[in-house]
Amino acid sequence: MSWPTDTELNAIKNAVAQMSGRDAGEVRVVVAPYRICPLGAHIDHQGGTVSAMTINKGILLGFVPSGDPKVVLRSAQFEGEVHFRVDETQHPIHLANKNGGISTSPLREKGTWGTYAKGALYALQSKGNNLQQGIIGYISGSDGLDSSGLSSSAAVGVAYLLAFESANELAVSPTENIEYDRLIENGYLGLRNGILDQSAILLSSYGCLTCMDCKTKEHKLVHAPELERPFKILLAFSGLRQALTTNPGYNRRVAECQEAAKVLLAASGNSELEPTLCNVELAVYEAHKHELDPHLARRAEHYFSENSRVTRGLEVWASGNLEEFGKLISASGLSSIENYECGAEPLIQLYNILIRAPGVYGARFSGAGFRGCCLAFVDAEKAEAAASYVKNEYRKLQPELMNQLNHENTVLICEAGHSARVL
């Protein structure tokens, strides 16, 4: 695999060796890739079925067990050292702001970048694990890719979980780690997101589409046949790093979906069921959608149409039909804009540019859509041409945002990756 390179791994190991006084050969490294979700956006928190894969970029966390309960962490991106002890009990801090958006990114906020490490400890403790072994660790994210909608937060959370588990010799399955990471985000930070991100990071396998039923928690890996024309993943960055405060927040959309579910369940005499859209039969939705307020009807329409795009997408992926797969991705992107109404303007502009770019099969914005990047599947041979087209067109519309981007990172050409692991 092209990531991480030996140079990247050695840099992390040497940094930990320097911090701890140990030999670089003793340093273990957690590799936690970022994820993309081509189909299945915004439906994980409603128990929908999602598709995902990882890319060949992400978080590296080098560490050694500290030999006592102390945790000492440094970051390649941020200043300062984080100190705490694994035998101190952690309590939720609920960072989600009033708007319902999460107010920080795990790697960005100076002074508090250790939050996710404490969140991982909180998750492990709340399931009865009493850790005794701390870590001395050094964390680094692929340059310029935090706050990009590639789920750096879940990658960071998973990285700390795997490091604490490895240091304390805990045998934990990916399914249990999906739940632990959910506890970091929902329990510790107060964000009401679903399990898409960490499922992708923990379960993905190179060459496959990971499919997760967020209601039953069952997953499968769908292989693509040998493709006639290989594809690449294009990531086009908007330059928006902070969620816009005028944007409706993540938690507000979750609440609207639940509101829609409540109305539909009541209309079909099923009020006793939990108000999530996965508890509403498609036929019930069809029969009663006219009873929903228009904005709630749009949220429900996104949920039901996105679920069917995922079902169809898995079939066309398995048959190697990238053209059809791409059309579904773009339809998903449009539904996020029109029905889920969550894309910030620069991301919508990027979406419109990408779907016109040479060789692009389909595009949508990545993650919640409040900031960060858009993703596209592109014919490998045309990836460079598509990248230049997108750069030129986006510069015309958003010169200032474009100037804020690191030149090398305006449009990245990536490949699919593996799941998170400890080396």
**Cβ(29)–Cβ(135) under 8 Å?**
no
For ligand GLA, the closer CB: 133 or 330: 330
Distance, CA of 103 to CA of 349 (rounded, Å): 24
The answer to whether 197 is a known catalytic residue is yes
Contacts of 363 (CB under 8 A, 6+ apart): 234, 326, 329, 330, 333, 351, 354, 355, 374, 375, 376, 377
Nearer to ligand GLA, 5 or 242 (CB): 242
187 vs 320, beta carbon nearer ligand GLA = 187
Q: Do 337 and 351 contact (CB within 8 A), yes or no? A: yes
Query: From the list 44, 165, 301, 393, which residue makes contact with ligand GLA (rule: CB under 6 A)?
Result: 44
The two three-digit tokens of residue 398, written as one number:
């958003």
Q: Which residues contact 294 (CB under 8 A, 6 or more apart)?
A: none
Per-residue string for binding with ligand GLA, 147-166, x by CB under 6 A?
----x---------------
Our finding on whether 247 is near ligand GLA (CB under 6 A) is: no
Q: Which is nearer to ligand GLA, 94 or 229 (CB)?
A: 94
Stretch that binds ligand GLA, among 18-26, 167-175, 193-201, 229-237 (CB under 6 A): 193-201
Q: Does 196 bind ligand GLA (CB under 6 A)?
A: yes
13, 28, 45, 309: which one contacts ligand GLA (CB under 6 A)?
Answer: 45
Question: Would you say 109 and 75 are in contact if contact means Cβ atoms under 8 Å apart?
Answer: no
**Nearer Cβ to ligand GLA, position 101 or 326?**
101
Q: Does 183 bind ligand GLA (CB under 6 A)?
A: no
* 368 lies in the site for ligand GLA, by CB under 6 A: yes
212 alpha carbon, distance to own chain's centre: 14
**Catalytic annotation, pick one of 146, 197, 213, 293:** 197
Structure tokens at 31: 């590799």
Q: Does 306 bind ligand GLA (CB under 6 A)?
A: no
Residue number, 133 or 332, with CB nearest to ligand GLA: 332
Q: Which residues contact 44 (CB under 8 A, 6 or more apart)?
A: 50, 193, 194, 195, 196, 212, 214
Interacting stretch for ligand GLA, rule CB under 6 A, among 38-46, 82-90, 160-168, 376-384? 38-46
Query: Residue with CB nearest ligand GLA?
Result: 193
From the number of C-beta atoms within 10 Å of its C-beta (0-12, 13-18, 19+), residue 21 rates as exposed
Q: Does 37 bind ligand GLA (CB under 6 A)?
A: yes
Output the smallest distance, CB 169 to ligand GLA, in A: 30
Among the residue ranges 41-49, 86-94, 124-132, 411-419, the one whose residues contact ligand GLA (CB under 6 A): 41-49
Number of residues that bind ligand GLA (CB under 6 A): 12
146 binds ligand GLA (CB under 6 A): no
Gyration radius from the chain CA atoms: 21
φ, ψ of residue 200 in degrees (nearest 5): -60, -45
Q: Is 41 in the site for ligand GLA (CB under 6 A)?
A: yes
From residue 338 to residue 367, the character string flagging contacts with ligand GLA as x (rule: CB under 6 A) and all else as - is -----------------------------x
List residues binding ligand GLA (CB under 6 A): 37, 41-42, 44-45, 151, 193-194, 196-197, 367-368
Which residues have a catalytic role annotated?
197
